Structure 1
Amino acid sequence: MDSRDVGGHGDRRRRRESSVRETYDVVVVGGGAAGLSGALALTRARRSVLVVDAGEPRNAPAGHVHNYLAREGTPPGELVAAGRAEVAGYGGEFVDAAVREATPRGGGGFRLAFADGRTVEARRLLVTTGLVDELPDVPGLAERWGRDVLHCPYCHGWEVRDLPLVVLATGPLAAHQALLWRQWSADVTIVRHAPCAFTPEEDEQLAARGVRVLDGPVAALEVADDALTGVRVAGGEVLPAGAVVVAPRFHARADVLASLGLAPVVQEVGGQVVGSTVPAGPAGATEVPGVWVAGNVTDLRAQVITAAAAGLAAGAAINADLTDEETRAAVAARRAPVAG
């Protein structure tokens, strides 16, 4: 077997033991599905790649990954471990660290400064740092996020099918959210946690689908034996609940990009602010030449499989960009007069 194959265990071990070098073709900031997928494409393209991961995955509270073809039900940690092994098998390197800032380098490329004081240089950057979920301020809500406090029916709807569901209404999108979750359960209740009015058409739709609408706010969650049992509203009434549906605000984790002048922009849906993202082109190219993004940092709706696909697209675009640069340099060298 060729030692460059993914199954070359001795070669892989030597790469893991090697120290981080000074310069890489590409540094990937963020080691989730998007970053690992981009790194895999780039290492298979024979590029030198370093993946820098701060170890703060958004889906850490979730027990399983869903809607990922042929990986359905895989725990997130197992998916990352498998992805790391594949990238390492093609020569990719890893460092577990947080990137403090990135700055353009004279003559092209970038210098990255880690929080621990180390630095590394890269010809190109792929940033896949994801987002942060800002949850409604309800006691006990954050502790159960990703378990039985949910937002995406495609990620978790099957797991809570036929259970009583309580939707915390915090804006005008709550009616649409409740109607969507009604696909998975006939027992759906909206509680107006924040003042929000529905249109007459929405009121009719909710009534037609049997979705109850109650005034809040929600005071706390009721939990027994580490399982959600209900939602307590102001006044003391407890609504049975197998899961609580919320609408977080999704904020791009973009400190590294901000250090390069790439600030997140506010995203709205139906006139409601839902979060922020870093703008990018179809393959992830940003306004800063040499910097690409993929995954939730630029796409709030990206699920794991979508983020992985975006990482692949960005990795291919980066390799093409590097190839163009190398070809221009080769042509210029060929045209240069021969000394003597």
Structure 2
Amino acid sequence: MKNQHLDVVIIGGGPAGLNAALVLGRARKNVAVIDEGRPRNAVTRETHGFLTRDGISPNEFRQIAKEEISAYPSVFFVADTAVSIAGTDGHFQIATALGNTYACKKLLFAVGMRDRPLDIPGLAEVYGKSAFVCPYCDGWELRDEPLVVINKGEELMHFAPLISGWTNRFTICTNGPDELTDAQREELQLNQVPMFDSPIQYIDANDGIVRQVVLEDGTTIPCRGIFFKPDLVIGSDLPRAIGCDIAEMGKVFIDILGKTNIKGVYSAGDAASRMHQAIAAASMGALAAAAINNELNVEAWRKTDEHF
């Protein structure tokens, strides 16, 4: 399949890609959204913090979004994986795993992030059910409950005060050396936060609900939930492959409008931010789409001027 008349190809169909598609569809642009259908939040039962959609499942969120976007016939969805990109601004060609090719003027990466395999036995079984990564998304459901925080170093010293807003009944497991300074350890002690640095042997759970964390030194820590720091990588290698500037964890560098250093290429959502929340991703997608639309309109306007 080839389509030589696309204005924009969006790679990724999460909140960022979907909101971008909505804005561009309303702006009468021809858009393809290429998405493989394996979102990172597929393990999550509910999405929180999104006004009018608080508590919705990720699958239902996507279904409703696609139904709304279907009102704009210039947008279509492709269940496929983008595997390579060639060309330059105004003349990009995207090849997919199913052998299709799409040509477009502008490109938006909304590829999100993905988790590396979880190396703590039992963590995968509770992830999204009683183990989470973001208290803004899932802290309310675990308020005042006894929790285990799996984290270490500077990241831990950011997270510990944060989680204390939802519960003061939490224990820290650093799963090895804590990577803290003496002053940081003293700060945790002053706030009466227990901490263990023995490696985690396994997480004991029943039907996805954690019961206790078992350490290699024999310590058992009963709890009702877990917050942990995930090991993330960007959801696609394509931004790096075409020369986008990449920061830590593979995050794509963008300006305030979502522009990358490659002309005609934009990025939005978790792939371009450390604020990994659905509503933040959707907002970034909307802003990037508006910038893309403006760029397309200005280019068309000036091309018309050249004919006079």
TM-score (norm 2): 0.94
Corresponding residue of 1:270: none
Amino acid at match of 2:293: N
**Structure 2: 5+ residue stretches without partners:** none
1:250 Cα deviation after fit: 2.6
TM superposition shift of 1:184: 1.3
Which structure has the larger Rg over C-alpha atoms? 1
Q: What percent identity do the matched residue pairs reach?
A: 34
1:153 aligns with 2:139: no
- The residue type paired with residue 177 of structure 1 is F
Matched residues in 1 for 2:289 and 2:213: separation? 45
| 1:98 maps to 2:111 | no
**Is structure 2 residue 235 aligned with structure 1 residue 253?**
yes
Counterpart-to-counterpart distance in 2, 1:127 and 1:283:
13
Secondary structure of 1:39's counterpart equals helix
CA deviation vs aligned residue, 1:247-279 (integer Å, no higher than 9, x gap): 12332223222231225222xxxxxxxx23010
> What corresponds to 1:129 in structure 2?
111
Question: Quick check: 1:20–1:93 contact (8 Å CA) kept in 2?
Answer: no
Are positions 1:231 and 2:213 aligned together?
yes
Q: Which residue of 2 aligns with 1:269?
A: none
Alignment of 1:103-252 (within 5 A): 103-104=86-87, 108-134=90-116, 137-252=119-234
**Superposed counterparts of 1:42-61, under 5 Å:** 42-61=24-43
Work out whether residues 254 and 264 of structure 1, in 8 Å CA contact, stay in contact via their aligned partners in 2: no
Q: Distance in 1 between matches of 2:80 and 2:25?
A: 20
Contact 1:41 1:315 in 2 (8 A): yes
**Is residue 209–residue 225 contact of structure 2 (8 Å, CA) maintained in 1?**
no
3-state SS, counterpart of residue 70 of structure 2: helix
My pick for the range that moved more, 136-145 or 280-289, is 136-145
Change (3 A) 1:225 1:144: closer
Alpha-carbon offset, residue 207 of structure 1: 2.6
What RMSD, in angstroms, separates the aligned Cα atoms of the two structures? 1.8
Offset, 1:325: 0.7
CA–CA distance in 2 between the matches of 1:170 and 1:180? 14
Contact 2:171 2:194 in 1 (8 A): yes
Mapped to 2, the partners of 1:297 and 1:191 lie a distance apart of 28
Shift of 1:307: 0.5
Distance of aligned partners of 1:129 and 1:66 in 2 relative to their CA distance in 1, 3 Å threshold = same
CA distance in 2, matches of 1:280, 1:254: 16
Partners of 1:67 and 1:197 in 2: CA distance: 32
Q: Matched residue pairs, number?
A: 307
Q: Which amino acid aligns with 2:126?
A: R
Deviation of the 1:197 alpha carbon: 4.0
1:323 alignment counterpart:
297
Is 2:13 the partner of 1:39? Answer: no
- Are the equivalent residues in 2 in contact too, given 1:171–1:194 (CA < 8 A)? no
Name the counterpart of 1:3. Answer: none
Deviates more, 1:321-330 or 1:160-169: 160-169
Q: Please state how far the C-alpha of 1:141 moved relative to its aligned partner.
A: 1.1
Query: 2:275 matched to 1:293?
Result: no
Separation in 1, partners of 2:304, 2:200: 65
| Gaps in structure 1 of 5+ consecutive residues | 1-18, 267-274, 335-340
- Mapped to 2, the partners of 1:296 and 1:216 lie a distance apart of 32
Counterparts of 2:196 and 2:276 in 1: how far apart (Å)? 31
1:265 is aligned, of 247, 259, 265, to 247
Distance in 2 (alpha carbons) for counterparts of 1:39 and 1:170? 39
Normalization by structure 1: what TM-score?
0.85
Q: Deviations over 1:72-121 (max 9, x none)?
A: 1111111111111111211111110000011115x832000001111110
For 1:134, give the aligned amino acid.
Answer: R
Contact 1:186 1:210 in 2 (8 A): no
Relative contact order, higher structure (CA 8 A, sep 6+) = 2
Q: Distance in 2 between matches of 1:279 and 1:85?
A: 32
Deviations 1:181-223 (A, max 9, x none): 1221221111221212433443343233321112311110001
Of residues 248-257 and 52-61 in structure 1, the stretch that sits farther from structure 2 once superposed is 248-257
